[in-house]
Every structure is written in C-alpha cells, then in structure tokens.
Amino acid sequence: MPLALHDPSLLRNQCYLGGAFVGEPVEPVDNPATGEELARVPALDAKAATAAVEAAAQAFKPWSRRLAKERSSILRRWFDLLIANRDDLALILTSEQGKPLAEALGEIDYAASYVEFYAEEAKRVSGETLPSHRVDGRIMVLRQPTGVVAAITPWNFPAAMITRKVAPAIAVGCTVVVKPAPETPLTALAIAELAHRAGLPAGVLNVITGPAAPIGEVFTSHPAVRVVGFTGSTAVGKLLMRQAAGTVKKVALELGGNAPFIVFDDADLDAAVEGAIAAKFRNMGQTCVCANRIYVQRPVERAFVTKLAAAMERLKVGNGLDAGTTQGPLITSRAVEKVEAHIADALAKGAVVHMGGRRHSLGGTFFEPTLMTGITQDMTVAREETFGPLAPVFAFDTEDEVVAMANDTEFGLAGYFYSRDIGRIFRVAEELEYGMVGINSGLISTELAPFGGIKESGNSREGSHHGVEEFLEKKYLFVGGI
C-alpha cells in the first residue's frame, strides 16, 4: 500500500547527486513492522561515489565564497521546509525505521533544530588577532571551511544523524556527500529533496545509496575528501579511521556506548523510573545513549524494580503508525538475536527475568520489553551494548563501587545518575568517564549542547557552537613590515 503522504513527491527512489536525482532503483527498502516493500533505491558503486565526491569538490569553492548570510538564508529555508513537511517526513521515517510516529515527529523537529541552529551559527564564525612576537608584525588566525565532507550515517535516527553533520558543515562553507544506512535511505532522500527546494546549489549536498564497503573506500581514500564523519558501530568506526589514515583525513566519530544509569538511595525514585523509561525504551532501546546498565543502590532496589515494572506495564508494543504504540519493531532479526543472546547469557549466569524476555506475539522483529535483576559485571550485557528493550538491573552498595563499575568499559558516550545530594552530584559527575552525563534526567539530547563521546565512543562533538569545529581549519597569517 502506498504511503498516505500529503506530498507523494517526497518519496524519492533515486540518489541526489550534483543537484539531480539519478540512479536505477533496485535495492528494496522494507517496513520492519509489516515486512512490506516501501520502495527501491539505487545501489551505486565506487564510480558513482567518486562522481559524488567530485560534484561536492566542484561545488566547494563557490559555496565557501558565498556570504555567510546567504548560506544562512538557504539553511533557514531548508529548516522551514522540514517543519512544513514534518508529517510526511515522520510517516516515511516510521515506515522504514519502525519507531512510534510520535517519536518520529520528535526526531524530525530535532533534526530540523540543527538546521535552524546552524543557519544562525553560520554568521558567527570568526577568526582572531593575537599578540605578535614582533613590533613590526601582526598575527591573525582565519577559520576557513575544511573542504569536502563525507558522512556515513546509521538507521536509528535516519533524519537527525544527517542534519547534525550536514547543517554545520554547509553552514561554514563545506560541501557534503552522505551515505545513509541501507535500512533507512528514504528519509535521507526526502530531506535532500527539501534541501533542493530550499535552493541549495548543485553539489553542495549529495546523498548516495549503495553497498557500504566500496563507498566507504572512496570516502576514506579520495584526496578531495577532507573530513570523514561517521555515526555507527565502533568496529566500522575503527575501520574507517584506519582507511582514512592513508590520506590523513580528519575523522569525526560518534560510536557505540554502554551507558550506565545509576540510582542512588537518596534519589527521587519516581523521577528515576521516568528517566529510566525514557533512557532505556526510547526507539525500542536502539540509541547509542540508551541506558544499557541500570545500577540501583541496594536499600532502594526492591522499590525501584517494583516501580519500573509498573511503568513498563504501560509500554505498548505495536506498529509505530498505530495510535498508542510506544514500542515498535526492532530494526532487523539480527537485532532481535542480539537481545536474546544477552538475555540467555544473563540467565545462564544466574540473573532472573522479571518481565518479558521473549519475542512478542505480534511476530516479526517485535520484542517484549524485558526487565531482569541479579545482573553482574561478568555478564555480556555489562560489556556490550544490547541495543534493544532489555533493562538489566545491577545492585550496588557504595558510591566508589558503582563509579568503578560504571567506568569499567572501553566506551564513554553517555552516563546518567539520580541523586539529590549536591556533594555526590559533583563528585560522581566529575568521576564518570563519559562525554555526556545526565543528572536527574534520562534525556539529554539537544542541538544546544555538544553531543559526543570519549574513549572508544568517539572523538568529536555535534551540536552547539562546538559543532562547527570539525568543519573549520585554522590558518595563521603573519603580516610583516608594518
């Protein structure tokens, strides 16, 4: 059944390259809730990826020489179009990704907020003058756009992961080639269609679909590409970093997490439960900032688990397009198998299932929201990101002990804790080895703050005024003979 879009022309089945929609639609895109084919998109090869990079390279100089105000106006028009078409974009997003429609609408607003923010920020990129080492000379620092940016994005936020990279890059004068995830190319192409309508010149933004490895090879080896931006798994991030070493590109990585969510015995338990639901079950647990390990201080463990179970009873699994659904399907059967493997491993090592634990009766990739207790650090779920609707509860005794457990991972993206003790809030916030810490809040993402990780979770920041840094070079000028 065709999607009931107000504007059916937003459903593009060709790639956006050099300002035109091109390519033979061959690769099916399926709805994870129904298994239905939504559309087909091209499977472009390395040659087409090279052409896209070259289109971006050709567009770079003229785009970078435009007045910041002109770039800003185009971004602003793009923002307005994203908002005006949010219902259609959200429908496309839910249909190919599965998340509930309300969350998809939230994601479109969130994705658009980066375009709005960087439309404003475009006008505020400035250089500096520094004290000179000679009386007859002056030191200046220009901040200039880096060049062509190649971006590879995941399926869990099909809109926001694109605008978070593309908006700051083009705001400062870079040009971009994006390869979206094969599961969710339709949202990416709809966003590109709106950029085209907003008047973005040909080649400034290109979106190509096709096999990841050969396209990734071009992105990481073509001399015109100066920045490789990637959001996805740590394994692929490491591979791209190695590949990009050959031409010394900047590599901006947003990789996996293993977020601890700590509830101290002085916490407001109702607020902690609300935060845990948001941090664990948003997008069916498929976000890199999702709570992966829930640590609860022993005196409040029983009360917290009872309240969390009651809140989880209210989650409703179903097709994301049905009213009232809070949990859609998981993205693929591979994702379901990972959740099952984490549950089986925890059970084998002595944990207990309190709720759920199985595939949902709806079939397909639907899974029951699952609550487990008796989780310990030796279980797989303590080491790896589950990326699914499994809430594993660990008990702990002391602050030092939980901080050590929370930091005992190679990941360092987001962490959360609940406490009302001001001293503890500062101590724990400073000790947690994470790029982002939510304190008494299970939701932290906003275009106004720098999003990113440390350790093996990444090396860049997206959002806020920091988000343009990846796309700017500093050039030092020395003016002598004054």
Nearer Cβ to ligand ADP, position 56 or 236?
Answer: 236
Nearer Cβ to ligand ADP, position 147 or 154?
Answer: 154
State the distance between the two ends of the chain, measured CA to CA, in whole angstroms.
72
- Shortest distance, position 338 Cβ to ligand ADP, whole Å: 10
In the annotation, is 15 catalytic? no
Q: Does 182 bind ligand ADP (CB under 6 A)?
A: yes
Phi and psi (nearest 5°) for 276?
Answer: -65, -40
Q: Which member of 154, 185, 210, 257 binds ligand ADP (CB under 6 A)?
A: 154
Q: Which member of 29, 74, 119, 152 binds ligand ADP (CB under 6 A)?
A: 152
Q: CA 147 to CA 58: how far, in whole Å?
A: 10
- Shortest distance, position 60 Cβ to ligand ADP, whole Å: 22
Is the CB of residue 429 less than 8 Å from the CB of residue 451?
Answer: no
- Shortest distance, position 157 Cβ to ligand ADP, whole Å: 11
Q: CA 147 to CA 248: how far, in whole Å?
A: 14
- Shortest distance, position 285 Cβ to ligand ADP, whole Å: 13
Q: Does 144 bind ligand ADP (CB under 6 A)?
A: no
Q: From the candidates 27, 254, 368, 447, which is the catalytic residue?
A: 254
Q: For the chain, how many helices (H) and strands (E)?
A: 14, 19
Q: CA 121 to CA 141: how far, in whole Å?
A: 19
- Shortest distance, position 384 Cβ to ligand ADP, whole Å: 12
- Coil, strand or helix: which one is 117? helix
Nearer Cβ to ligand ADP, position 255 or 273?
Answer: 255
Burial 56-82 (b: 16+ CB within 10 A, else e): bbbbbeebbebebeebbbbbbbbbbbb
Q: Does 311 bind ligand ADP (CB under 6 A)?
A: no
∠ CA 377-383-387, nearest 5°, is: 125
Q: Does 216 bind ligand ADP (CB under 6 A)?
A: yes
**Environment class of 376 (CB within 10 Å of its CB; exposed 0-12, middle 13-18, buried 19+):** middle
In the annotation, is 254 catalytic? yes
Q: What is the helix, strand, coil percentage profile of the chain, to 5?
A: 45, 20, 35
Q: Which member of 4, 213, 310, 344 binds ligand ADP (CB under 6 A)?
A: 213
Q: From the candidates 103, 288, 290, 470, which is the catalytic residue?
A: 288
Q: How many residues can be counted in the chain?
A: 482
Nearer Cβ to ligand ADP, position 100 or 229?
Answer: 229
Q: Does 321 bind ligand ADP (CB under 6 A)?
A: no
- Shortest distance, position 235 Cβ to ligand ADP, whole Å: 7
Q: Does 233 bind ligand ADP (CB under 6 A)?
A: yes
Q: Which residues are catalytic?
A: 254, 288
**Contacts with ligand ADP, residue ranges (CB under 6 A):** 152-154, 179, 181-182, 212-213, 216, 232-233, 236, 239
